[in-house]
Structure 1
Amino acid sequence: MFVHRSRTAEGHVRGVVIKAHGTLAFPNQNEDECQNSPCESPKVCHNTYKSYDCVCAAGFLTVRDPPSSKDTACLDLDECANADVCGANATCYNSYGSYHCICAVGFQSEPGHAPLGCQVSPLNCPEAERRNNSNPVPCDLKHSGTTERSKRSDKVSCSMTEQAHRLLDKVCQNFSEAEDSQAVIDFVNSFLNESSLWANMEVTERLNAVTALLDLMENLAMAIALTLPRPKTKTVSGASFALKVQVFGGQNKTEDEVVGLQVWNNTMEINWKTIAGQNDSDFAAISLLVFNNLESILNSEENRKGGGVAGRTGPLNSKVITASISNKAASHHLTEVVNFTLKLNQEHNGTGDLKCVYWKKTGVGSFWSTEGCITFDINQTHVMCQCNHLTSFAILMAPIEIEDDFALTVITYVGLTISLLCLAASIIVFSKCRSIQNCNTTVHMHLSINLFLAQLLFLIGLNVTGVKILCAVIAGCLHYLFLTVFAWMLLDSLQIFMACRHLTVKAYTRTHIIKRRYLYPSGYAVSALIVIISAAVNPTGYGSERSCWLSLESRFRWSFLGPVCFIIVVNLVLFIWTMVLLQHHLTTRDTSVSKIKDTRVLTLKAAARLFVLGCTWIFGILNVNENTTVFSYIFTILNTLQGVFIFLIYCVFNHQVRNDIRRCFHKRRMGSLTDTTNIALSSPETKTA
């Protein structure tokens, strides 16, 4: 059939249905004439009773052309003329019959309000992931000089890192909570459980992989928050992590109210004003992520390097956490500090320094840093941190180190300079003064020579850390020289003890002192043996990033402290024993046998010598942390002035040395007078001639 239409005087269309075989029919029911699209674009058809109208579509303005005509035309309507159509944080772009809003950089459409309204994007996506169809730059697997196993490991780790970037690309662009969340969970569980993969990674690859993983999980948390109704709290957990996301909306909270999350006994407390921002948005979210075993991966990296970036760090003693909020603009500079309470993996027993650190990303790499974080409170099981920014955090267990003190540095350099001058003078006296040449003087001279070399090398080589091999050699030489000094100190103590023990012997011979053929092996060979064994056990124990001395890792310092403690104990025993013998001889002495002429001088020398020969190092042992500053000053002053003590005790207070020096000056004076007299007597003869 076909339809014949005619327009009435009022402009309505009258329809007559002509059926097959020429039969006419006048239907009682209205027919939808718009089914055949009778109107030309951009007009749209509106069906009426037994008729239809063609009107301009939305986005177009109806005008009469000309104005007196009954015919109408459709002109494009510029919706962008209304400045508020897209909101303050978006730009309006007009199109034919429509418009669209594009959020400014750093903003995105509010959930459920698109396309109207843009808020600060809670995602922190790299620029590469912001672009459509962006692909991560492939890894460079051309490592020269690497083994096949290393190349295979590099290829696998590179593939895993690229996969992390692809997942981040999905999270940042077209995130599907149902599909992409599970994909990320499976990937993270698989990635963190690849222990062999992490073990074979190079340092740079491992740090880059950790950074990519942290970025992925931080953005995943906020991407999930954007899909949640308001208010809502959701927990996502896997074998290697646990994530809690809380979304707020419409709650009447005061600015000073504190919001908190807790995951695996790790808590986060943050001010509500920080989350919501200056303008209370109806979308605000907070998340806390705790990794299960990421700290063990980073600790193995610490053990491999034997130190840390920007100074030696130490192992992590907590889970690695990542905290984020929807107010990304305030995440890097919080107006109010955020409190973290992290559970320690191992209980704190008071040894070591616990530091709150965060994962700092720079253009040259990533590392743990204390910048912007303070350790607020410590107990046996937890540590409270206060930070002025948000990212990934952990607790670092750093060995205690005495911070550089300007006053101590000045005392050290001035004291060592004076000590070196006194030691040089002592060595000259011991070698030139014939009246004191005996076995005791041999011990004193070798003690002075080794102490002079040790202090000189300490003064000029302790901070030469630029060349590792040279620093290790300096550390080994210092180890040997100081051990040799202690060895000769012990031999001197034995000499004093043996001398005091045989004071009543009438025929006092060299059999009552240590013979020279035993002195040199005892003074030098034992120290060399200790250094050789220490270097064989731990070749990397010499030198560190802070100084050219023994490493504090793996208890290697006990290769020096062990012998030192032993000699100190022996010296104390010999000191007490010597004092007892002196007291006995002073009360029962026989002046015809005793070699003591002045008991006060002998007692003073015995006490002073033993004090110089090791007792001052007791203060060095007690100097263990920053709370023992007094011991630091005592130890530094006494030990840097050991050369002065040796010069005073062995030279200035020795009457034989004083007499020799007087005789030496007297001979020179007499020789000078003789020369003057001869010149005076020869003058007349010269004139007579």
Structure 2
Amino acid sequence: MDTHVSLFVCLCLLAAQSIPAETTSELLTLMKHLERPRGRTMPSRVKHIHRLEQMLLNTSFCGHNLTLQTDAIQSLVFELGCSFPGLSLSSATLPNVPQAWAPHGMQFPAELTKEACVASQPARLRLICVYFFTAQLFQDDSNSSLLNNYVLGAKLDNRTVNNLQNPVNISFWHNRSLEGYTVTCVFWKEGASQHSWGAWSPEGCYTEQPSPSQVLCRCNHLTYFAVLMQLSGDPVPAELLVPLEYISLVGCSISVVATLLTILLYAHSRKQSDSVTCIHMNLHGSVLLLNVTFLLSSQMALPTVPRSVCTVLAATLHYALLSCLTWMAIEGFNLYLLLGRVYNVYIHRYLLKLCVLGWGFPALLVLLLLVIKSSVYGPHVISFSKSQENGTSFQNVSMCWVRSPVVHRVLVMGYGGLTSLFNLLVLAWALRILCRLRAPDKALSSWAYRDTVMVLGLTVLLGTTWALAFFSFGVFLLPQIFLFTIFNSLYGFFLFLWFCSQRRHSATEAKAEMEAISSSQTTH
């Protein structure tokens, strides 16, 4: 185990005696400027932060420790040697810490100075810690919520410290339970955003919750750290991660093959002018695009992949989902026309208008989002909880997807909910029509029966399976996750089976019709 030294702190009054008064004044003035970032340009904020770091690294002072403190920023400086035993910092051991500040702490392993000492044997190493008790300087494009609005940073000289075997431990406490929130340890990745001077990333950090009000971040590098907070439903056990990934991978792969085969069979079919079949094939095309982009989304969210690639893939995945949902609604609308108008309707350039709606409308929505705020797309973190003896930890999975909670609620859940509701209403209405057609005093023609079964089958698959997304709470959570994953990952395969059954039914009808004609000719 590492031996940690306790922290001895000199606050502003003592610091003024250990360094020149003008240096102290300049440092405190700079920190106060950073406390009030409003009205300052982004380059100016970045410049002031970097200037503060360099001044802390280069300032001469008496003793081994130095602390400077303002209303919302605290700067700590330590002189380290190559025999560094480790360092444990805690707000509980610091004198004169304002009561309004929530408890926090950092723990540095002895390994921290190992690489620097092996490389050059420096006379001294300086470790600086800069704590921001305001999140205004670290606003990303999504305006993410941070636990306590705290950002705790550390830097060792001008060196890059990463890939530590023993992690840096950063502890955050809250004054109430964090149940009902998804918490994720992140670090500030400078230059990772086009509209801000950085973005929050979970790379290299592991999230644990030793208690309901504490978050422990274990990170293998030095930089600025924080905890993202997001309202969540019931936590999903981490033990389900592997089976869910396996089901998704196998199901989507089968659906891709089945959908390709369906499209190829349709391409070689002679009856390509049938509008109903054309609508089905457009749905197959959107399902194919959805499955392919979904399979690629987790692979493109890796740190080695350029952020722009993940952004494009996330936008494509969102477009594929919206297009698929739109074609589901078009199937319901087409069912209404088939049964409600009894084939007696003509719409000028019907298929062209449906294609503009099915492919063009989702494209318009996604393009508008990209133009207004492209940062809504990119790496999205999904947390799985894991119970341990000392608390609950979280395992994070990244994929290229919608990063904005508002966009996700409106253009994913809202759009999907309206589609499912519409198709379920059409399904109920169609079942009523079918029951009337099956009345004893009315004959059920073969073509009406065929198309009713066809669209009812589609509507059941669409409406029922996507409606499962709205049962992710309480006792329904775990069954819903598995049923939703199975049904929707294999959706393309189900469509393939239905397509084959329809072809077989059509072939049987054609054969029966030919036999009837042949029998009639023989009789005459």
Q: TM-score, normalised by structure 1?
A: 0.48
Structure 2 match to 1:569: 421
Give yes or no for contact 1:340–1:384 (8 Å, CA) kept in 2.
Answer: yes
**Which residue, 344, 356, 371 being the options, matches 1:511?**
344
Report the AA paired with residue 350 of structure 1. G
Report the AA paired with residue 296 of structure 1. Q
The answer to whether the aligner puts 1:350 opposite 2:180 as a matched pair is yes
Structure 2 match to 1:319: 150
**Which residue, 444, 459, 472 being the options, matches 1:594?**
444
The answer to whether the aligner puts 1:490 opposite 2:329 as a matched pair is yes
The answer to whether the aligner puts 1:424 opposite 2:260 as a matched pair is yes
Report the AA paired with residue 544 of structure 1. G
Measure, in 1, the Cα distance between the counterparts of 2:323 and 2:199. 44
Measure, in 1, the Cα distance between the counterparts of 2:486 and 2:479. 11
Once the two structures are TM-superposed, the CA of residue 544 in structure 1 deviates from its matched residue by 1.3
Once the two structures are TM-superposed, the CA of residue 185 in structure 1 deviates from its matched residue by 3.4
Give yes or no for contact 1:263–1:289 (8 Å, CA) kept in 2.
Answer: no
**Which residue, 189, 192, 207 being the options, matches 2:32?**
189
Structure 2 match to 1:580: 432
Measure, in 2, the Cα distance between the counterparts of 1:524 and 1:366. 36
| Secondary structure, aligned partner of 2:210 | strand
| Mapping 1:153-164, distance limit 5 Å | none
Once the two structures are TM-superposed, the CA of residue 451 in structure 1 deviates from its matched residue by 2.4
Give yes or no for contact 1:189–1:238 (8 Å, CA) kept in 2.
Answer: yes
Name whichever of 637-646 and 405-414 sits farther off: 405-414
Give yes or no for contact 1:493–1:610 (8 Å, CA) kept in 2.
Answer: yes
Report the AA paired with residue 245 of structure 2. T
Measure, in 2, the Cα distance between the counterparts of 1:423 and 1:407. 24
**Which residue, 368, 381, 403 being the options, matches 1:552?**
403
Give yes or no for contact 2:377–2:401 (8 Å, CA) kept in 1.
Answer: yes
Q: TM-score, normalised by structure 2?
A: 0.60
Inter-CA distance 492–629: structure 2 relative to 1 (3 Å threshold): same
Structure 1 match to 2:99: 264
Give yes or no for contact 1:435–1:660 (8 Å, CA) kept in 2.
Answer: no
The answer to whether the aligner puts 1:610 opposite 2:465 as a matched pair is no
Structure 2 match to 1:296: 136
Measure, in 2, the Cα distance between the counterparts of 1:396 and 1:221. 36
From the CA coordinates, give the structure whose radius of gyration is larger: 1
| Secondary structure, aligned partner of 1:616 | helix
| Secondary structure, aligned partner of 2:445 | coil
Measure, in 2, the Cα distance between the counterparts of 1:358 and 1:220. 32
Measure, in 1, the Cα distance between the counterparts of 2:189 and 2:364. 41
Inter-CA distance 472–613: structure 2 relative to 1 (3 Å threshold): same
Give yes or no for contact 1:265–1:343 (8 Å, CA) kept in 2.
Answer: no
Measure, in 1, the Cα distance between the counterparts of 2:313 and 2:171. 45
Once the two structures are TM-superposed, the CA of residue 237 in structure 1 deviates from its matched residue by 6.2
Inter-CA distance 613–208: structure 2 relative to 1 (3 Å threshold): same
Inter-CA distance 515–317: structure 2 relative to 1 (3 Å threshold): farther
Give yes or no for contact 2:180–2:231 (8 Å, CA) kept in 1.
Answer: no
**Which residue, 615, 632, 641 being the options, matches 2:490?**
641
Once the two structures are TM-superposed, the CA of residue 574 in structure 1 deviates from its matched residue by 0.9
| Secondary structure, aligned partner of 1:266 | coil
| Mapping 1:298-447, distance limit 5 Å | 298-299=138-139, 302-303=140-141, 315=146, 317-320=148-151, 341-342=173-174, 350-351=180-181, 353-355=182-184, 371=205, 374-378=208-212, 383=214, 385=216, 394-397=226-229, 405-433=241-269, 438-447=274-283
Unaligned segments of structure 1, at least 5 residues: 1-119, 125-166, 226-235, 245-257, 271-287, 308-312, 324-331, 503-507, 664-689
Measure, in 1, the Cα distance between the counterparts of 2:165 and 2:228. 23
Measure, in 2, the Cα distance between the counterparts of 1:659 and 1:448. 24
Report the AA paired with residue 494 of structure 2. F
Report the AA paired with residue 565 of structure 1. G
**Which residue, 481, 485, 504 being the options, matches 1:632?**
481
Measure, in 2, the Cα distance between the counterparts of 1:214 and 1:176. 11
Once the two structures are TM-superposed, the CA of residue 320 in structure 1 deviates from its matched residue by 4.2
Measure, in 1, the Cα distance between the counterparts of 2:50 and 2:454. 64
Measure, in 1, the Cα distance between the counterparts of 2:189 and 2:281. 54
Unaligned segments of structure 2, at least 5 residues: 77-90, 106-128, 155-163, 191-197, 381-397, 513-524
Question: Which structure: greater helix fraction?
Answer: 2
Measure, in 1, the Cα distance between the counterparts of 2:267 and 2:324. 18
Give yes or no for contact 1:413–1:459 (8 Å, CA) kept in 2.
Answer: yes
Measure, in 2, the Cα distance between the counterparts of 1:604 and 1:594. 12
Taking only the aligned residue pairs, the percentage that are identical comes to 18
Measure, in 1, the Cα distance between the counterparts of 2:312 and 2:165. 46
Once the two structures are TM-superposed, the CA of residue 447 in structure 1 deviates from its matched residue by 2.0
Measure, in 1, the Cα distance between the counterparts of 2:36 and 2:311. 37
The answer to whether the aligner puts 1:524 opposite 2:356 as a matched pair is yes
Report the AA paired with residue 643 of structure 1. G
Measure, in 1, the Cα distance between the counterparts of 2:362 and 2:38. 38
Report the AA paired with residue 464 of structure 2. C
Measure, in 2, the Cα distance between the counterparts of 1:493 and 1:560. 19
Report the AA paired with residue 180 of structure 2. G
Measure, in 1, the Cα distance between the counterparts of 2:454 and 2:357. 28
Measure, in 2, the Cα distance between the counterparts of 1:521 and 1:443. 11
| Secondary structure, aligned partner of 2:402 | coil
Measure, in 1, the Cα distance between the counterparts of 2:399 and 2:497. 31
**Which residue, 500, 509, 515 being the options, matches 1:651?**
500
| Secondary structure, aligned partner of 2:349 | helix
Measure, in 2, the Cα distance between the counterparts of 1:461 and 1:392. 27
| Secondary structure, aligned partner of 1:375 | strand
Once the two structures are TM-superposed, the CA of residue 623 in structure 1 deviates from its matched residue by 5.5
Measure, in 2, the Cα distance between the counterparts of 1:264 and 1:487. 54
The answer to whether the aligner puts 1:200 opposite 2:43 as a matched pair is yes
| Mapping 1:30-429, distance limit 5 Å | 175=18, 184-193=27-36, 195-197=38-40, 199-201=42-44, 205=47, 208-209=50-51, 211-212=53-54, 223=65, 238-241=70-73, 263-268=98-103, 291-293=132-134, 295-299=135-139, 302-303=140-141, 315=146, 317-320=148-151, 341-342=173-174, 350-351=180-181, 353-355=182-184, 371=205, 374-378=208-212, 383=214, 385=216, 394-397=226-229, 405-429=241-265
Report the AA paired with residue 570 of structure 1. F
Inter-CA distance 477–197: structure 2 relative to 1 (3 Å threshold): closer
* RMSD between superposed Cα atoms in Å: 5.7
1:313-368 Cα shifts (integer Å, max 9, x gaps): 86454234689xxxxxxxx999xx99753459xx97935x224668899xxx9988
Report the AA paired with residue 450 of structure 1. S
Measure, in 2, the Cα distance between the counterparts of 1:605 and 1:338. 58
| Mapping 1:473-488, distance limit 5 Å | 473-488=312-327
Inter-CA distance 637–201: structure 2 relative to 1 (3 Å threshold): farther
Measure, in 2, the Cα distance between the counterparts of 1:393 and 1:461. 26
Report the AA paired with residue 361 of structure 2. L
Measure, in 2, the Cα distance between the counterparts of 1:366 and 1:660. 61
Inter-CA distance 475–528: structure 2 relative to 1 (3 Å threshold): farther
Inter-CA distance 567–520: structure 2 relative to 1 (3 Å threshold): farther
Report the AA paired with residue 251 of structure 2. G
Inter-CA distance 645–241: structure 2 relative to 1 (3 Å threshold): closer
Report the AA paired with residue 263 of structure 1. P
Structure 1 match to 2:370: 538
Once the two structures are TM-superposed, the CA of residue 644 in structure 1 deviates from its matched residue by 1.9
Report the AA paired with residue 493 of structure 1. G
Report the AA paired with residue 354 of structure 1. V
Once the two structures are TM-superposed, the CA of residue 571 in structure 1 deviates from its matched residue by 0.5
Give yes or no for contact 2:30–2:52 (8 Å, CA) kept in 1.
Answer: no
Report the AA paired with residue 150 of structure 2. K
